[in-house]
Structure 1
Amino acid sequence: MTRRLRALAVGFELFALTLLGVAGFAVTIAAFAPGFGLGMLFLLPAPLLWGRTIAQVARQRTALLAGVSIAAPYQPAPPPPVRQADGWYRKDRVLYRSPYWPALMGRIEWLLGDNATWRDLGWMMIAPVTGGLLALAPALLIAAGIVLPFFGYPVGLLLIPVGFLNAEYAVRGAAAFNRRLLGGPFLRSNVDNVLPVRHPVKEWVAQALLPPLRLAVLLLTSLLAIPVFVATVLGFIAAYGLGLIFLVPMVLGDLRWLATWRRSLAHWSGPPIPAPYRPLPVLVANSEGLFQVGKSLYRTQRWAVWAQRFSWLTGDPATWREVLWRGLDPIVGGLLAGIPVAMIGYGIWGLVLPRITQTVLGAPRHDWYGAIDGNPWPAIPVGLLLAWIGIKIAPAAVRWHGRWSRVLLSPSAQAVLSQRVEQLTQTRADATAASASELRRIERDLHDGTQARLVALGMNLGAIERLLDTNPTAARELLAKTRESVGTALRELRELVRGIHPPVLAERGLADAVRALALDSPLSTVVSAHLPWRLPEPIEAAAYFGVAEALGNAAKHSGATKATVSMELTTENLRIVVGDNGKGGADPMRGSGLRGLAQRLGIFDGIVTISSPAGGPTELTLEIPCASSSPRTSTS
């Protein structure tokens, strides 16, 4: 009885935490409208961090009250901005005089780009009617069992023991719900690998509910486009009508957050939409120390930067396509996302639930919901039918919404060409630097090792020649040492050649070369490969050294005991996933290894992505286009 009474008290506290989460969710959503809509970005970090505080309190109280430990799955915070040699702070392609704005942008990207942030918001939104309601359900049953006999329902007394008997189970269910939403992904370990736990029923429910939830988020972005477009129009009126020209970069540049957010959501319906903006030109002073922007010369860098940003924004066709999208998206995108969401919402909350509450709780009936032509009973099947239709058309609506976003937010052919030229320039510089660094390494190894040993061999042979007539015994001893030096020189040459291009890679291919790496790794490494054909040697070498770098980092820094390497080759690209069961927290910004790996693969249009939440596990993904799909990987 004591345990059940305690479980009832724990249920009350867990429900109270969900109410606190609702308050945090309301404050966060309230900050989104002025933050994204009016460009008041400084309003965003505080409510998001407050929401994290609430979620962390829920984790701690769940662990204390229900005995369920939940680790915080947040990514590490970004490092502070670094001042460049010219005194400016750079964030992407924009220069700032003060570190405040680049730090703010980095903090916002960190918060919005972390999946744990959205899991926290999801918990705040649905916990009161799911996990929190489950924790409170036994107390509600007991209260109903006490109250119903006074209204002529003595059978309600049966609810009291039901509530007491299920109090502990309800708390466990609520704690499991909190762990599911507030913790990281569930993993189970086996001898060979680390695999996610599969739940077929939950996967089916997720597949049915995920498209409507995505449409709800897309509908939110479409609604946010209304204040963004209003702010844009008002900014143009004030800029060109009242002469407040400084507002133009604000409404064109600072309000790009919404379009950037929408592009990042495009992966729900296909590949992500790349940024369509032209590269920001480099600002260079002439021989007189003046900065030229167009046909104007500026003596101070501050005004030159402002003028350059103004001309860059107003002269980019992608800017005006985005302005057009701000005005049309509330109509087109709002209808595409709103119709299925409205069907599901009205079917469940407008027809089904009102009829259930009228029947079970005796709630008053309203004429506008819960009835079909005055008859309340068809409301349930009609509502379920509407919700079912909304769920069925939701995946197609997500796809069409993505196509609509690509119409105006995708880069034009000219923008793609400009970005490609900039990318080629950068990767050519990376390739030149990597080649020069490799040549220096080879030269250093030859000079410090093999060359010095060969010089010593020549000196030994000269000494042997002099000793042959006078001291044959000493000559034989020196000859034996010389033979050992020859073997050492050969081993050094083999190691040097192996560092340039491993023989096992040339003879047996990438899969066997990686398996050889796994055998030499201090970690227990499992390799799985599906490579139907051989790739060009440069791509295989880049992939091999990429896996070697990843396994080396895992062995040195992660504290892992096991690692996995999965390689899959399709007609489009080579995909390699290197995972470990270490402590996680890997950050490309805090070390040169991952940046160097990205530069190595960037020569072949490859990309590197990493997932490494605090507490692990870490998963590093390498993707390299095949030679047939990438003009830069041609060996000719």
Structure 2
Amino acid sequence: MATRALRTSGLALLHGAALAGLGLAGAVLLLVHLVFFVPGFGLGLVFLVPLPILAGRYLTNLVRRLAGAGGAPIGSPYRPRPEPPRPEESGRYPHDNRLYRRPWVPAFLRWLDWVLGDPASYRDLGWMITTPVVGTLLGGLPVALLAAGAWYALGNAGRHWWALPAGLAVAAAGLAVAPCLLATHRRWTHWWLGPEQRQPGRLRIWYGRQLLLLLRLAALLGLSLLALPLAAASVIGLVLAYGLGAVVVLPPMLENQRCLPELRRKLAGRWSGVEVATPYRPRPGVPQPRPDGRYQVGNNLYRTARWAAYHERLRSLVRDPANWRDLGFLLLDPVVGGLALAAPLAAIGYGIFGLALPRFWMTVGLVPDEGGDWYASVAGYDAAAIPVGLALVALGLLAGPVVLRSNGRWVALLLAPTAGARLASRVQRLTETRADATESQAAELRRIERDLHDGAQARLVAMGINLGNIEYLMDRDPQAARALLAEARQASAKALDELRDLVRGIHPPVLAERGLADAVRALALDIPVRTEVTVALPGRLEQPIESAAYFAVSELLTNAVKHARADRITVQLGYVDGRLRIVVADDGRGGADEARGSGLRGIARRLGTFDGVVDLSSPPGGPTTVTLEVPCALSSPRTSIS
């Protein structure tokens, strides 16, 4: 019995030592992940991100096999590898909402989604972060106790009589706790790396948020460092353009330097919650020729449209203040933004790897103390490394969200459009929407004219001819006259119905009498799909906005029935922060694309007249959600909720 227990403890000791070694290998692999993640997320080299993730699966699979030996096996949690893309009848390969000529592009995108979209990949990453402490401690503590007991017994046996029994007791304790700690390690490994899907608890949610925060800070730091070579290239371009007269390098230099600032504007809105609009002036069009056949740009005349367009483009780029603010941002961001982003990352890294972990091993006596660090001179003993390291980590985690928001404000300070740029963009927007409104109005008038000409007008003309025939046949053939009267009565009824439909298409009476909420409910009752309408409007809208919103909802409901083949549709109408918000969702097959459908473009043009926006989410397979937002004011305070 004792031999069996000793054998079990010995095997547990060996397994624990192996798992402790794999825990240290996990720390090394975590550093490899960071090396690949910074250029992957920071420089846009996304193809680098899956490489360490796939390489790390060999280590985690080995940990699963070793931790599951002698107990319940730990299965693999990874999703199956995606199938290769198959061509359509046209010979192209679909992926999401696009078609590709070659199969390797959708195959790569599927592979990328397979790796980055698998929750097990991020659980592996969480295991790599925690295993250097938890996994190594659970697996290596029995070995450490056995080694410490043997070292103490052999080193002090000649000086103290109690050294031998004390050392043997510590070694025996290491053997005794080895099976228990191995079982705990197995449960901990199964919790992190097992195949079951767990609901995230509060601790995991907090941990995920902190990990996402650190990744965002690292990515922004990489982008800040990328600004250095881009700023150097811009300075060289300015020297060549203004110093040596090589003006030809100026337009591509000014346009190419926009990529990084534009990316920072998008990330400021997504990550920091600070929306930064694009400040650039619109690209100028082709100059029109003068009566003498020349092209005028400013005070200069050109014989060809090509040179005129080039100088118009150069003139627009040089006079756009956003380009020069971009250059100033590229020069200042590595210093101001880079140092601010590096501060919390450096605090966390120094706290974990520079103080807490090395000094922890020194405290327990596994690593010889070298001394001489600043904290030792202040606190007087090496154990101060643990609270100092934890304090630095806590300080870095607390400062991370503040630094992220401050970075968004820093980006807005230098890269947001000025008042003049906003005014120019507003004028351009109004010009475009006015042109769209004029075109829509002309198309609507043509439709009304066509419907009147082909419908009610033709029936009224036919009815007039029938009345003339009736007058002629009244005395000669009363029976034929009565038949023509019946036909004229039917024609008048049909003409009246067509006129009512035409009026309803221009402005429905229910919309004018009862407002948008009841008009949308009436639409929902007329379609053959179960539709739920939820309305929370504290008043009536202006008549033009009500009409535009009504016809937009009508078009979306028609699309859901006709194209999406939906079984259930929901419509939500609300008023939030001075904006009418309409959400139309269906459970259809999805795949809607604004670029391929004139209906969605028509809705965008109709709402664009009122500065409205359309947001479409329609992945293949569904569901489809369309969000409409229009700034407006309300009147007649009344709440309607259904």
Counterpart for residue 236 of structure 2: 234
TM-superposed deviation, 1:542: 1.1
Distance 1:534 1:459 in 2: 47
Native 8 Å contact 1:75 1:585 kept in 2: no
TM-superposed deviation, 1:515: 2.0
TM-superposed deviation, 1:538: 0.6
Residues 166, 28 of structure 1: CA spacing in aligned structure 2 closer, same or farther, 3 A cutoff? closer
Alignment partner of 2:532: what SS? strand
**Superposed counterparts of 1:136-535, under 5 Å:** 151=147, 152=171, 153-154=174-175, 155-160=177-182, 171-173=193-195, 176=197, 213-267=215-269, 268-287=271-290, 289-354=293-358, 362=366, 373=379, 375-535=381-541
Residues 143, 55 of structure 1: CA spacing in aligned structure 2 closer, same or farther, 3 A cutoff? closer
Q: TM-score, length-normalised on structure 1?
A: 0.72
| Bigger-Rg structure (1/2) | 2
Aligned residues: 550
Distance 2:357 2:33 in 1: 26
Residues 305, 77 of structure 1: CA spacing in aligned structure 2 closer, same or farther, 3 A cutoff? farther
Counterpart for residue 76 of structure 1: 96
**Superposed counterparts of 1:12-31, under 5 Å:** 29-30=38-39
Alignment partner of 1:558: what SS? coil
Residues 382, 78 of structure 1: CA spacing in aligned structure 2 closer, same or farther, 3 A cutoff? same
Q: TM-score, length-normalised on structure 2?
A: 0.71
Distance 1:18 1:517 in 2: 61
Distance 2:134 2:379 in 1: 37
Distance 1:508 1:353 in 2: 70
Letter in 1 for 2:46: L
Native 8 Å contact 2:78 2:120 kept in 1: no
Residues 342, 23 of structure 1: CA spacing in aligned structure 2 closer, same or farther, 3 A cutoff? closer
Distance 2:385 2:202 in 1: 31
Structure 2 residue 126 is the aligned partner of structure 1 residue 130 = yes
Native 8 Å contact 1:292 1:304 kept in 2: yes
TM-superposed deviation, 1:485: 2.7
Moved more, 506-515 or 142-151: 142-151
Distance 2:322 2:123 in 1: 41
Higher normalized contact order (CA 8 Å, seq sep 6+, divided by chain length): 1
Letter in 2 for 1:313: L
**Superposed counterparts of 1:612-631, under 5 Å:** 612-627=618-633
Distance 2:366 2:56 in 1: 35
Deviations 1:430-486 (A, max 9, x none): 001100111111111111111112222222333333343344444334333333332
Deviations 1:218-241 (A, max 9, x none): 333322222222222233234444
Moved more, 396-405 or 122-131: 122-131
Residues 50, 227 of structure 1: CA spacing in aligned structure 2 closer, same or farther, 3 A cutoff? closer
Deviations 1:21-48 (A, max 9, x none): 9989856754777xx6xxxxxxx6xx53
Deviations 1:151-173 (A, max 9, x none): 55323234555566777665445
Name stretches of at least 5 consecutive residues in structure 1 with no aligned partner: 1-15, 37-43, 82-106, 178-196, 629-636
Letter in 2 for 1:418: A
Q: Percent of aligned pairs with the same residue?
A: 45
Native 8 Å contact 2:589 2:623 kept in 1: yes
Deviations 1:411-444 (A, max 9, x none): 1222222222211111111001100111111111
Letter in 2 for 1:575: R
TM-superposed deviation, 1:489: 2.0
Residues 385, 50 of structure 1: CA spacing in aligned structure 2 closer, same or farther, 3 A cutoff? closer
Distance 1:68 1:356 in 2: 38
Letter in 2 for 1:441: R
Q: Please report the RMSD computed on the Cα atoms of aligned residues, expressed in angstroms.
A: 4.7
Residues 564, 340 of structure 1: CA spacing in aligned structure 2 closer, same or farther, 3 A cutoff? farther
